[in-house]
Amino acid sequence: MSGDSHPAGAGTEAPIGPEQREVEDRLVETVLSSFDGTEDPRLRQIMQSLTRHLHAFVRDVRLTEAEWNAGIEFLTACGHITDERRQEFVLLSDVLGVSMQTIAVNNRAYKGATEATVFGPFFVDDAPQVPLGGDIAFGAPGQPCWVEGAVTDTDGTPVPGARIEVWECDEDGLYDVQYPDGRTASRAHLFADADGRYRFWGLTPVPYPIPHDGPVGKMLAATGRSPVRAAHLHFMVTAEHRRTLVTHIFVDGDPQIAIGDSVFGVKDSLITRFEQQPAGEPTPDGRDLTGRSWARARFDITLAPEGT
């Protein structure tokens, strides 16, 4: 804990004597050595490190048995609410910043490659394909938004044919999978053209709360934290011999960015200008929006080589 500006047990550590400390130390050593025979060295390393950190946590806050029970009940509730459509453990990892920390560890900065951020629980594997310039909204409510850009390598070479998956919530803050009617909307995939360029119609992103009607939501409420995410549009970009990029673009000027994103996903490099266009302003592809305002955003995507 030394060097940590927020030691977890600061001011709460009970004065324990050398005998008690020795009992606790001995238990940690016994549990650690129970994993000594693990054949897979990586599994051994993970289990022993987990043991060290968990015991350090219990000792640091001098966890009471009632608190330990409450923790078990919390994890049990996370399990009970989890099914094919709802993953409370991913949500827990997200709001604790563990998802973003894992992304940071595994997606090192590489020569200006676009930064990654949290995947989230709302990606769907078999989203429909739209042509370049197509509309991914499929009737979902929201302000139309033209999004375009180019996919390149870090040396500026275009990546023709890159597969671009995009998904977002509607103006009510809901993803299609959160409706009970099985609709598919506000999600699609498309392929970059021969020059690596792409374009599509989506919706101007809005801030929305992560699902907070379960144990994770209760934890956020108990700790005075908001479930709201900064407005964003999800991207996953894949291309041969390139590192897969999972990211979002965030809306420059969204007040939620300053207030805070509930899953810590915002990175400055991903904050993008969404330019508001008045009703009647000609659209890039001549689409007739019959008197509606719209927005436009440009997001150039730089992919790192595979294995970096």
- Residue 235 belongs to what H/E stretch? strand 232-238
Q: Which is nearer to Fe ion, 242 or 267 (CB)?
A: 267
Which residue, among 84, 92, 87, has the nearest Cα to 182 in the 3D structure? Answer: 84
* Strand partners for 250: 232, 271
Instruction: Give me the least distance between CB of 131 and ligand BEZ, in Å please.
Output: 26
Which regions of 68-162 does DSSP assign to beta strands (E)? 144-153
The candidate with the shortest Cα–Cα distance to 202, out of 254, 165, 147, is 147
Q: How far is the CB of 118 from ligand BEZ (least distance, A)?
A: 5
Binders of ligand BEZ among 78-117, rule CB under 6 A? 91, 94
Residues 147-186 that bind ligand BEZ (CB under 6 A): none
CA-CA distances (angstroms) from residue 105 to 84, 102, 116, 117? 28, 5, 11, 12
Q: CA-to-CA distance for 9 and 61, rounded, in angstroms?
A: 5
Q: Of 234-263, which residues contact ligand BEZ (CB under 6 A)?
A: 263
Which of residues 78, 120, 190, 245 is near Fe ion by CB under 5 A? 120
- Choose between 192 and 219: whose C-beta lies nearer to ligand BEZ: 219
Cβ(116)–Cβ(265) below 8 Å: no
If you compute the radius of gyration of the chain from its CA atoms, what whole number of angstroms results?
Answer: 23
Residue nearest to ligand BEZ as judged by C-beta position: 120
Binding mask 46-85 for ligand BEZ (x = CB under 6 A): ----------------------------------------
Among Fe ion, ligand BEZ, none, residue 94 binds (CB under 5-8 Å by kind): ligand BEZ
Least CB distance from residue 243 to ligand BEZ, whole Å?
21
CB atoms within 10 A of CB 227: 18
| Shortest Cβ 7–Fe ion spacing (Å) | 33
Q: Which is nearer to ligand BEZ, 232 or 296 (CB)?
A: 232
Element at 113 (helix H, strand E):
none
Q: Degrees (nearest 5) of the Cα angle 114, 119, 120? A: 145
Q: What does 121 bind: Fe ion, ligand BEZ, none (CB cut-off 5 to 8 Å by kind)?
A: ligand BEZ
Lay out the site mask for ligand BEZ across 115-144 (x = CB under 6 A, - = otherwise). Answer: ---x-xxx----------------------
Q: How many residues bind ligand BEZ (CB under 6 A)?
A: 9
Residue 166's nearest CA partner among 246, 274, 101 is 246
**Interface ranges with ligand BEZ (CB under 6 A):** 91, 94, 118, 120-122, 210, 229, 263
